[in-house]
Amino acid sequence: MKKLIFLYIQAGLFLSLVVSCKKDLVPQANAAFTIVNAVPGSDNLVANFTTNRVTIGNNPLGMYVKYRIYAPNNHMTIPAIEQPLLIYKTQGDKPVYQLSLNPKPGEASTLFLTGTLEQPETLLLTKLPPYHAVADSVLGLRFVNLAPAKTPVRIRISGEGTDLSVNNLAYKSATDYLSVKANTSVSNVLIEFFDQVSGTLLQTYTLKDVGTPKQEKNKWLYRNYTLVWLPNDANGALAGEPFLIEDF
């Protein structure tokens, strides 16, 4: 854990250096950008917003993105200009992914790294999460299918005041943000994933305490999340917790 924290600190210093080097006298327009690691067997991947790979000792310098884990530093603000993005393994000099970004001012994008290390794939979603009025008492929930099996799934979302379904969510597809009730009458929200063809229940997740009273700091209310259908944990076993991304 200490090593991982140290790497995150390195990543923060690196990104601060990159941004400071690009500063000029004219205020820079920005965009929101999130990187998600959904590549089985990758453990940590390192994002580098430059064409030069830099190391400190044996550790590559950049933003570390751990498999199936969301960390706040994976969500960042970047300049709204054309720029490179290279993704490396922690060991090796050649990038696994090599992309060119050109975000527009005010955009909000999420880059999902998927596929395998041998056959890398990406999914880039650009969409501003919805605003939720205080009177609505809801949260926004988006689903993305990045399961290695690459088969479509059906999803059911149920809770007090909520009974929603998503049909035929294909690999590398995403839903819009669905409105899920989060008022005090709601306890938990159950999410069930089914194989689209056979109807077999594949996995269930529970979003807990969605209806926590506002004064107790409800983390769900008026917020937006992305739930990635990626059923296996880092060891290849069925994961016990959802792969949840905090959007806004």
* pLDDT tens-digit series, residues 89-131: 988 789 999 999 999 999 999 999 999 999 999 999 999 999 9
* Other beta carbons within 10 Å of 135: 6
182 and 144 belong to one structural domain: yes
Q: What is the pLDDT of residue 211?
A: 84
State the Cα torsion 138-144-147-151 to the nearest 10°: 110
Residue 104 belongs to domain with CATH number: 2.60.40
Q: Which domain holds residue 41?
A: 2-126
118 in the same domain as 9: yes
Whether 122 and 180 map to the same domain: the answer is no
- In this structure, which amino acid lies at residue 226? T
**Residue 5 pLDDT:** 41
Q: What is the C-alpha to C-alpha distance for residues 130 and 223, in angstroms, rounded to an integer?
A: 9
Which pLDDT score is estimated for 4?
A: 45
The pLDDT, as a whole number, for residue 13 is 43
Instruction: Note whether 140 and 132 are within 8 A (CB).
Output: yes
User: Domains in the chain: how many in total?
Assistant: 2
Pair 87, 141 in one domain: no
Q: What is the pLDDT of residue 233?
A: 93
List Cα–Cα distances, 197 to 50, 100, 114, 167, 205, in angstroms: 44, 37, 23, 11, 21
Residue 1 has a pLDDT of 45
Which residue, among 207, 111, 130, has the nearest Cα to 164 in the 3D structure? 207
| Count of Cβ atoms closer than 10 Å to residue 165 Cβ | 12
Q: What is the pTM of this model?
A: 0.86
Taking 70 as the pLDDT cut, the residues of the chain under it are 1-26, 57, 214-216
Asked if 104 and 147 sit in the same domain, the reply is no
Place of tokens 């430059």: 50
